[in-house]
Chain A
Amino acid sequence: MMHTLHSLLETASRPHGGGDLLVLAILLPIVALLLIVLTGGRFGRAITLASLVPGLFITGAIAHRVWTTRTALVERVGGWEPPLGLMLRADGLSVLMLVTTALLVAAVALYAPRDFRVPAGAPETRTSLVFWVMLLAIWASLNSIFLGHDLFNLYVALELIAFAAIPLVYLEGKKGTVMAGLRYLLFALMGSMLYLLGTALLYSHYGTMDLTRLAAAVNRDWVVALSVALMTVGLMAKTALFPMHLWLPPAHSGATPAASALLSALVVKGSFFLILRIWFDLAPAFTGTPGAQAVGVLGAGAVLICGVLAVRQTRLKLLIAYSTAAQIGYLFLIFPLAKGAGFERALSGGVFHILSHGFAKASMFMTAGMIVAACGHDRLAELRGVMKTMPVATIAFVLAALSLVGVPPTGGFIAKGQLLSSAVLSAQWPWVVVILAGGLLTGAYMFRALSSCISPAPLSFQPLAPVSRIREWLVLALAVIALWIGMFPGVTTRTLEIGRPAPLEARP
């Protein structure tokens, strides 16, 4: 352990290179999960928590390297050059996602032990083994999505995410969760097959899967348009964009709270990240075209229809899950908005939304988990006064809700502000209406959730189990990060610029 840390420090302090850090970021969670498989679920918690230290350190080292040199960090795995070799590349966008993922995985790992403890002497449970293994597997596969620079490599990473996420949906074997997991699996499988079909067409035309080489080679012709369409539709199914969102609410609300937080905050963003890569790095010429407008219409459908569905929910976890389906819609508005003068604003608005929604939603699902632990159910009508037993978590819930609604100075405000200003800059007024109406709907369902939890308690209310103070501070920390993103937006925008392709004025 000490030796590994020492060699890590050496790698990080070397002036050039440092690309092996990218390999380590993917390898470390895999090594840790193999250790858990070997030693059993009893040690899952200890091994996961121990792996967080070097994991956060590696992420920090990558971020530090990219931030100080202000260039993307590149690794040619095994010394092989593309097109035969696989390249890993960390630009500013990857760094933002790596840091978010590391922080959220750490939060989930600190939140979860209460649910997955194996008492000394008791027989080991399957759930604790599976939970810790899959948590680390999600971390590894997300990192390989964020660092991958080869479309086929990214396909494998996509499948890995699905295989790691789906067992978490039916982990506890509750009624209906297996069905929810199967539905998720079928959507995910069809999604990745369509994605693979798109990459096959690109390969047949250009003979490479490397993103940089493809970006330099692609023309705006029908083969590229068809492959971008196939890949986008496939990834939409995995991201649960309306009208392919049907699998998300039962899967996310039925999972165990720690898993719901991970699925809603991170896993859907993994496939969305690939759509970003395809539209903004591979074929930026397609943003703002009629095809992109169609994608935006689906996004608007998600914002409005899933927003209305969220308002109508009677159960807290389902409300939060529908809110995820609605908030995902905003992410797809950036493709029509990224046109002319609005291009950079749309991208940064989307990234702000990914980050702040990630932290706010994780905080919210974890708070919902604490509410279920205290009440034994999550029926909104009967949650009166539950928040009295958890004052710190109440502050967190309010902060997270403000960020989702987009109230200044939260991260959600910056996200929606950037989207609005890109709509104005590119003179596309209908999207302004969608963004504002979505904000009102978000306000409505968040008010509904909060008002039932905060209203005065009946005198007889007693929580089923004592509220964990660690969990309370944890959800507050996540909500504060969502706030911090909005208070210091410069950090995010300055990071996002690093390693982007040449300015887009050059585009035809």
Chain B
Amino acid sequence: MNTTEWFGIAAALLIGLGLFGVITHPMLLRKILAFNLVGTGVFLLFGVIARRGAAAGIDGDPVPHAFVITGIVVAFSASALAVTMALKLKSDTGESTFPDDPPADAPDPAAPPRP
């Protein structure tokens, strides 16, 4: 087994761990971190693809690098948005976890806005 393959396996493990975390942890911050783990795994996979060379067989294919750079920017801003919303939720309601049961009832439009 060569180094590239080991990195490929590492990417798969990261994606698996992250998926597990997103699904099982009720804590918001952990979910956001787990999402980043999945993202890291996918980006690492792009790195592996670049190193191995895609269909064209170029060693060190630059196109996946461009994908990763764009992907990191998108995932970073997504995490920033998610953390901001989690902070707002905490300051509004004091909650930092998802409720166990699915939302049976949505917010009542008649309810007054929170100060």
Interface set, chain A 251-307, CB cutoff 8 A to B: 253-254
A23 at the interface (CB under 8 A from B): no
* B95 cross-chain contacts in A, Cβ below 8 A: 179
Is the C-beta of A20 less than 8 angstroms from some C-beta in chain B?
no
With A163-B77, A185-B82, A200-B46 given, is the CB distance from A193 to B39 under 8 Å? yes
A155 contacts across to B, CB distance below 8 A: 71
Task: Contact check, B108 vs A178: say whether CB atoms are below 8 A apart.
Answer: no
Q: Given contacts A178-B89, A186-B35, A190-B38, is CB(A203)–CB(B54) below 8 Å?
A: yes
A200 surroundings in chain B (CB, below 8 A): 42, 45-46, 49, 64, 67
List chain A residues, Cβ under 8 A from B31. Answer: 186
The residue in chain A whose Cβ has the minimal distance to the Cβ of B106 is A250
Closest 8 CB pairs of A and B: A207-B55, A176-B107, A207-B54, A250-B106, A377-B110, A204-B49, A254-B107, A253-B106
Tell me, in angstroms, the Cα distance from A163 to B67 when the chains sit together.
Answer: 19
Q: Check B35 against A206 for contact (C-beta < 8 Å).
A: no
B109 adjacent to A185 (CB under 8 Å): no
Contact B106 A254 (CB under 8 A): yes
Contact with A along B13-55 (1 / 0, CB 8 A): 0010001001000001001100100110010011001001011
Q: Which residues of B contact A377 (CB under 8 A)?
A: 108-110
When the two chains form their complex, are residues A186 and B22 in contact, meaning their CB atoms are under 8 A apart? yes
Closest chain-B Cβ to A183's Cβ sits at a distance in Å of 7
Q: Does B113 contact A (CB under 8 A)?
A: yes
Please give the residue numbers on chain A whose beta carbons come within 8 Å of chain B beta carbons, in ascending order: 83-84, 152, 155-156, 159, 162-163, 166, 170, 172-183, 185-186, 189-190, 193, 196-197, 200, 203-208, 246, 249-250, 253-254, 315, 317-318, 321, 372, 376-378
Report yes or no: A163 in contact with B102, Cβ–Cβ below 8 A: no
Taking a contact as CB atoms closer than 8 A, the residue among B52, B71, B89 that contacts A179 in the complex is: B89
Contact of A193 among B38, B77, B82 (CB under 8 A): B38
A155 CA to B78 CA in the complex, in Å? 13
Q: Is the interface of B mostly helix, strand, loop or mixed?
A: helix
* A156→B107 contact, CB < 8 A: no
Q: Which residue of A lies closest to B92 (CB)?
A: A178
Q: Which residues of B contact A193 (CB under 8 A)?
A: 35, 38-39, 42, 75
Distance A173 CA – B95 CA, assembled complex (angstroms): 15
Separation of A254 and B22 alpha carbons in the complex (Å)? 24
- A84: chain B residues at CB < 8 Å are 63
Q: Does B1 contact A (CB under 8 A)?
A: no
Option from B67, B81, B88, B111 in Cβ contact (under 8 Å) with A174: B111
Which residues of chain A are near B102, meaning CB under 8 Å? 246
Query: Which residues of B does A touch, CB under 8 Å?
Result: 15, 19, 22, 28, 31-32, 35, 38-39, 42, 45-46, 49, 52, 54-56, 61, 63-64, 67, 70-71, 74-75, 77-78, 81-82, 85-86, 88-89, 92-93, 95, 98, 102-103, 105-111, 113-114
Which residues on the B side are within 8 Å of A186 (C-beta)?
22, 31-32, 35, 82
Asked if residues A180 and B107 are in contact (CB atoms below 8 Å), the reply is yes
- Are B70 and A152 in contact, CB atoms less than 8 angstroms apart? yes
- Partner of A250 from the list B38, B63, B82, B107 (CB cut-off 8 Å) is B107
Inter-chain CA distance A315–B49, complex, in Å, is 51
Chain B nearest CB, measured from A250 CB (Å)? 4
Complex alpha-carbon distance, A378 and B89, angstroms? 25
CA distance A190 to B74 in the complex (A): 13
Main secondary structure, interface of A, reads: helix
Contact of A178 among B46, B88, B98 (CB under 8 A): B88
CB of A411 to closest CB in B, whole Å:
28
Tell me the nearest residue of chain B to A185, going by C-beta: B82
What residues on B are CB-neighbors of A253 within 8 Å? 106-107, 109
For B109, the chain A residues whose CB sits under 8 A away are 174, 253-254, 317, 372, 377-378
Whether the pair A185, B85 counts as a contact (CB closer than 8 A) is yes
> Most B CB atoms within 10 A — which of A172, A183, A186, A321?
A186
- B74: chain A residues at CB < 8 Å are 156, 159
B81-A185 in contact (CB<8A): yes
Judging by beta carbons under 8 Å apart, are B106 and A182 in contact? Answer: no
Give the docked Cα–Cα distance between A9 and B83 (Å): 46
Whether B64 contacts A203 by the Cβ 8 Å rule is: yes
Chain B residue numbers with a CB within 8 Å of A246 are: 102-103
Which residues from A are CB-within-8-Å of B114?
A: 173-175
Given A166-B81, A172-B113, the answer on whether A180 and B103 have CB atoms closer than 8 Å is yes
Contacts of A185 in B (CB 8 A): 78, 81-82, 85
Please give, as numbers and ranges, the residues of chain B lying within 8 Å of A206 by CB-CB distance.
54-55
CA distance A180 to B45 in the complex (A): 32
Minimal Cβ-Cβ distance residue in A for B55: A207
Q: From residue B101, how far is it (CB to closest CB) to chain A in Å?
A: 10
Please determine whether A204 and B22 come into contact, CB atoms closer than 8 angstroms.
Answer: no
Expressed in whole angstroms, the Cα–Cα distance for A376 and B108 within the complex equals 10
Residues on the A chain within 8 Å of B70, using CB: 152, 156
- Which A residues lie within 8 Å of B78 (CB)? 159, 162-163, 185, 189
Cβ-defined contact, B106 with A176, below 8 A: yes
Shortest Cβ distance from B113 into chain A, in angstroms?
Answer: 5
CA of A159 to CA of B76 in the docked complex: distance in angstroms?
12
Neighbouring A residues of B52 by C-beta, 8 Å: 204
Contact of B56 among A177, A207, A315, A318 (CB under 8 A): A207
Given contacts A197-B42, A207-B56, A377-B109, contact A190 B103 (CB under 8 A): no
Which chain A residue shows the least CB distance to B22? A190
Interface contact B85-A182, CB-CB below 8 Å = yes
Please tell me if the beta carbons of B35 and A190 are within 8 angstroms of each other in the complex: yes
